Amino acid sequence: MGEPARDTTDPAPAQPAAPGRVSRRGVVAASAIVAVALTTTVVVAADGLPFRGGPDAGVSLSAHPSVAAPASPPAAGPPPSAAPAVAKPARPRLGVFRGTSRSRVRAFERWSGADVDYVMDYSARDTWREIADPRYMLDEWRGSGYRPVYAVAMLPATGSASMRAGARGAHDRYFRQLARNLVRADQADAILRVGWEFNVSVSTWRVDDPAVFKAYWRHAVAAMRSVPGQRFEFDWNVNAGNTQIDAARYWPGADVVDYVGVDVYDLGWESGTYPYPDPCGATCRLARQRAAWDVILGGRRGLAFWSDFAKAHGKPMSVPEWGLWRRADGHGGGDDPYFVERMHAFLTDPANHVAYQGYFEENVTELGDYHRLRTMAGAGAAFKHLFG
């Protein structure tokens, strides 16, 4: 979510960065907003990237009894072939992004009454040096008692490095260096979201050839696993919805993935979702929130699809980023307790095998005071009741 200007032709995500270093969806790359002219309807992801609905945009929700299904869900998208059974994790571990600051995470715990297990963070990424040696970030979380979940860039924002070179192993040394630094900082058990949200249109590491992404991912994971003392886990992390490239085609293999991660925000571009009309009372708002949730859950590449995808590949699911969004353009649900309730139902439903989740409790773009639960009385109260 984060670059200062957004192109009105392509809604895309902005990613968090370390405070004062890089803006959030500048994390993925610069965040622009892409509105794709298609005959199907459009809804937008956390990055602003459109989710496209339409006659073929749904998945079967029969396996998701805890969540209300759309009125007329289309046929299910084909999951991958059979895979081993997934161990059912207990209640998913709670993570939060509050910048690179343990004191702010602890303040969130006091406010919410929830025990935070994981901290989500994003390093600066202008250069390979910043990616391979994010010292300020590693120092902040060393000995904090929280398990770190780090978004790891596949390419720096500057320079001539390429995904194709990475697929040949040309960048392996930077991932080995990062792994050594993590081990030295007593963070050998970090969860690593390598190339997170690679399927959004403005991602620095987006590539149209799935074979290139898969080869590069495998090189990066092998390089990091080669470092003595590491116990890393790797989260293959997509942005929810039917983005311009189909993330399902970029699966690098069960041997190099530990979690199927999905980022999701309370956004809507479909007719009948957001913005709220004026006037719009409580009944009107709830109807639009429900319509938005139906797409978030049951769209062609919505949460239900990815839950089924993870199970088919024998992996637990994660939701490393989720959040409310109060947007200046009105395309977020704002103070939406219904979204919090539905997310809680999805996250805690054993059928979805969600191992961990991370709430994005930061405001990092020009689009409004958009994520912070503490600024939204109804949703904040719902969160404290359900997660505290």
User: Phi and psi (nearest 5°) for 119?
Assistant: -115, 135
65 within domain boundaries? yes
pTM for this model (two decimals) = 0.80
| Listed residue (196, 202, 210, 206) closest to 251, CA to CA | 210
30-73 pLDDT, tens digit per residue, is 333 323 222 233 333 333 333 222 222 333 333 333 434 333 33
160 within domain boundaries? yes
Cα 261 from Cα 20, distance rounded (Å): 27
334 within domain boundaries? yes
102 within domain boundaries? yes
Strands 317-323 and 259-265: parallel
**CATH number of residue 61's parent domain:** 3.20.20.80
269-325 pLDDT, tens digit per residue, is 999 999 999 999 999 999 999 999 999 999 999 999 999 999 999 999 999 999 999
The letter for the amino acid at 319 is: V
375 within domain boundaries? yes
Angle, vertex CA 308, rays to CA 72 and CA 260, nearest 5: 130
Domain count, the chain: 1
116 within domain boundaries? yes
Cα 160 from Cα 155, distance rounded (Å): 9
Torsion over CA: 180, 182, 183, 185 (sign): positive
Of the two residues 23 and 110, the one the predictor is more confident about is: 110
84 within domain boundaries? no
Give the SS3 label for residue 224: helix
| Listed residue (68, 44, 72) closest to 242, CA to CA | 44
Range of the domain at 265: 42-78+92-387
Q: Is 187 exposed, middle or buried (0-12, 13-18, 19+ CB in 10 A)?
A: buried
Tokens of 127: 């250069």
288 within domain boundaries? yes
Cα 313 from Cα 299, distance rounded (Å): 20
Q: Please, which pLDDT band fits residue 366 given cuts at 50, 70 and 90?
A: low
